Each structure stands twice: as C-alpha cells, then as structure tokens.
Amino acid sequence: MISEIDRCARCGFCEAVCPTYNAVRMRHMGPRGRLQMARAVLDGGVSSRYVVESLATCLRCRACELVCPASIRIVDAIVEARKRLYARA
Amino acid sequence: MEDWIRALRDLVVDNLKRNRFPLPADRSICSRWASGLPEGGRRVLYSSCMYQLAPLIAKAVDVLQKVGASSGGVRAKLAAAGARVFGGFLLKPSDEEARRADGILRNIATMLSKAGVQFGVLRDEPYSGALLYELGFEEDFASYAREVYRYFKERGVEEVITVDPHTHYVLERVYPKYVERFDLKVVSYMDLVKPSKASVVKAVVHDSCLYARYLDRYDVYRRLLDSVGVVHVEDPYVTGKAYSGCCGGPIESVRPDVAGEVAKIRVRQLSKLSDTVITVCPICYVNLSRAASGLKILDLAEVIS
C-alpha cells in the first residue's frame, strides 16, 4: 500500500472534487493530505490529533479515485490506515 | 478527537450488545411499519431500521456534544464518558419523522407485493452494524456481523431485500469478508419493484455514493423514475456518476460541523437544477434536509408508488 501511495504526484486533482476539502480548505482534510497521513500511519509513524482528524473525516465517497491520474486506491489506503490507527489506540 | 471517536464507539458497541440497535432507543420504533405483514420465510424485507435510525444520529450527537467538544481540548475528555451519559434516557424520533419512516417502508412493501414478490418480515430484526464499520471499528463490526448472520440463518432466511445503500453495501460486500461461508443473497427493493405512478413531475437526483460508485446502481433508480415519467435534470458536474457530491452524512457523528458544511455546498449545487431533490438513502435525506432552505427533499420511495 505504501508503494501505491508513493505514486501520488501531488497534482491536486483529487482536492478539486473532495467534499470535505472544499468545505474546510485544510490540506489534511483532503485526499492528498490524507494519503500522506495514511502513509505515516502505515509506516508505523507517530499519531497526532491531525492524523486522527484527517483519517476519521474521510467520507469514503470515492470522488477522488475517479479523477486520480495515478489510479491510487485512495479510500482503501485511508481505511486501512484508520483501522491500524484505531487498533493501536 | 480520539476521545470523541472512542466515546462514539463505546456508545454504539454497548447498545448493539444490549439491544442489537446502535443507539439508546425503544426498538418498537423499528417494527411498527411491518404490522399486518407475514412473519419470516426464505425471503425477507430487511429495513435494518435505517429510516428510523437516521434522524436519531443527529440527536445522539447533540446529547454527546453537551458533555464534550467535537474536537480536541479538555472538554473532549469529557466526551469519553458519552456512552454512560445516556443512562436510562432513550432517543426518540419525532412523530413526523416516525410517520415518514413507516410510510416509506410500507410503500416499499406495497410496491414489492404489487410486483408479485413474496416476502416476510422479521419484527425483531437486528441492525446491520453499518455505522460501526463506517466509524472504522472493523474488529467490533466483524464479531457483530457474525451474530447478525447467525440470526438470519437460525430463521431460515436465504434472501434479504434491502431498502438502503448502507445496509446493502455491508451485507453484500463487507459481511463476506468477515463471515465464513456467507451465503445470503442480497437484493435491493429497487431491483424488484415496478412502480406505476409518481408524486412529482420534475426533480434532480442526489446520488448515494454507495449506490453510484460502489454498488453500480446509478442507472437503476433513474430507470425507475423514467418508467413513471419523472423528468430528472442532469448536469455532469453535479449529478454525473463521477462528480456527484457526497451529502456529508458519513461523518455526521465524527465532525457534525464539517458534515453540515458539506451538505450546504451540496444543496447549493442541487438547487441550481431543481427545487425538488430525490434522495435514495435515509442518511442523505436527513443531512441534506438540515441544510435545505426552500428545497423540497423527498426519498425515492415517497415519489414512486
């Protein structure tokens, strides 16, 4: 999953269609920010309030996946990271 | 935030264990609609109490917010006690909300009967566990899913007719991952009914993300509307399969403030196309209704009959 996340070119197309990013305009509340948060968690990194907030607020609506030029399974990465984060807590 | 999510998890798990319903409520609200319908059988119409539950989520969050903040800070620690806050207190839908939920489910049952579909109901049906899965507590969900599956098998159920996308998704796509030898057939009422009339002439459809992008049913409810002559206004950037926006509902219990903002944006987009919005999910209905001003929001099963 980490190698898939690393395909992210940070183009930002996903942010244009993300409902939570458009609602609050904070990078950790949009897909490309969430992917980096997910990467940190999957890599065993330290959690913070922002990591939890980022992963817990994904709507899993999949709008981002349909516009991602790298075809990253963004929601799967976020859901997997969230599962690990909560299991750790 | 972490304490808040933990409080939600405790509340849901605690209630599922005691009552097979995720929130503290009188379960009789779930079965009133089914009075007079045959009990049990090989094929059942399964509401998972979603239409009655949807308005209660916001009420539960309101109560939890009174004891803690939705993010960070010292007050969030108080929210960890949320599951205990309810005590003997039970959440109740308003009379109007209960009447509406019962009416939708009865209309679905009537449409199924008229289409020649034979089915029974289970008056003590358990909740599917979708909320727990969507909150991210998959281990808790997995053990609860096995219980629900056992419940169906003990009653000889082979086929389940669902009425909402959340229940349909977990039963069809998630249960098989966690329940060994899962063999229930899962169908949506929309695949079976043959409506003959509609209560509106023109509207815009607000898609459920699950139906449109996970369950491949984007065209199914549009075809139903076509069959009864309802004009649905389309715009690829508002109602297209790829671009139709979420209502914000899935994070209603985690960050109600963000969910509200998402709903406002969605309502603004939809209102440019029509003043009548048709939803196909009880969570979408509740979330959009709170943000709607001057828009008429209806469930599909309030429109077709």
Give residue-wise pLDDT tens across range A6-30.
999 999 999 999 999 999 999 999 9
pLDDT on residue B24? 85
Residue B128: pLDDT band with limits 50, 70, 90: very high
How large is the C-alpha radius of gyration of chain B?
A: 19
Q: To the nearest whole percent, how much of chain B has pLDDT over 70? A: 91
- Asked if residues B30 and B161 have their Cβ atoms less than 8 Å apart, the reply is no
Q: How far is CA B151 from CA B107, B118, B130, B148, in A?
A: 26, 21, 16, 5
| pLDDT above 90 for B233 | yes
Interface of B with A (CB under 8 A): 1-2, 5-6, 71-72, 134, 136-139, 209, 213-214, 241-243, 245-246, 248, 250-251, 254-255, 258, 261-262, 264-266
For each of chain A's 89 residues, which pLDDT tens digit applies?
899 999 999 999 999 999 999 999 999 999 999 999 999 999 988 778 899 999 999 999 999 999 999 999 999 999 999 998 888 76
| pLDDT above 60 for B255 | yes
Contacts of A55 in chain B (CB under 8 A): 136
**Sequence-ordered list of residues with C-beta below 8 angstroms from that of B17, at least 6 positions apart, any chain:** none
Domains of chain B are: 26-65+92-191 (no CATH), 202-302 (3.40.50)
Domains of chain A are: 1-87 (1.10.1060.10)
pLDDT per residue over B61-101, tens digit each? 777 667 654 544 444 554 455 555 565 677 888 999 999 99
Place of tokens 């969605």: B266
pLDDT on residue B78? 46
Closest CA to B238 of A45, A85, A19, A33: A19
Interstrand relation of B202-206 and B43-46 (parallel, antiparallel or unpaired): unpaired
Q: Please state, as a whole number, how many other Cβ atoms lie within 10 Å of the Cβ of residue B32.
A: 15
pLDDT on residue B69? 43
Contacts of A62 in chain B (CB under 8 A): 209, 213-214
pLDDT on residue B92? 86
Q: What is the enclosing helix (H) or strand (E) of B277?
A: strand B276-279
| pLDDT above 70 for B150 | yes
Closest CA to B160 of B25, B241, B40: B40
